[in-house]
Amino acid sequence: MEFCDECGSMMKTEGDMWVCDSCGFEKLRDEAKEAAMTTTQGQEEGELVDMSDVDAAEIGPTVEQKCPECDEVRSVRYEMKQIRSADESETRFFTCTECGHKWREDDH
């Protein structure tokens, strides 16, 4: 990803040039610099997080919440993890202390 030196907007590639759609600024592409850039190509979406090997006591604090398995309000352990991009909210992982059922919640 490249940002415009003139206006700061994100630029796109056109052949051997970086072009800014906002102000029209152009500059030559640098192959060595681009090779060092991190891309999203080939990354898998929705990668699962395996919590099965985590001891229940290590999962985190408890809160009262309705367990989808028990269908009752129970004491559940929760943990929050950033598993998506940094500009998205954290995912909350829950484990029912009664039946051991595990689930997660994401903000949409």
Residue set of the binding site for Zn(2+): 4, 7, 20, 23, 67, 70, 96, 99
Token digits of residue 39: 């891309």
Where residue 8 falls (left for φ over 0; alpha for ψ -120 to 50; beta otherwise) is left
**Rounded-to-integer distance, Cα 27 and Cα 36, Å:** 18
The 10 Å Cβ neighbour count of residue 105 is 13
Give the residue from 108, 81, 84, 105 showing the smallest Cα distance to 94. Answer: 105
Q: Which residues sit in the known binding site?
A: 4, 7, 20, 23, 67, 70, 96, 99
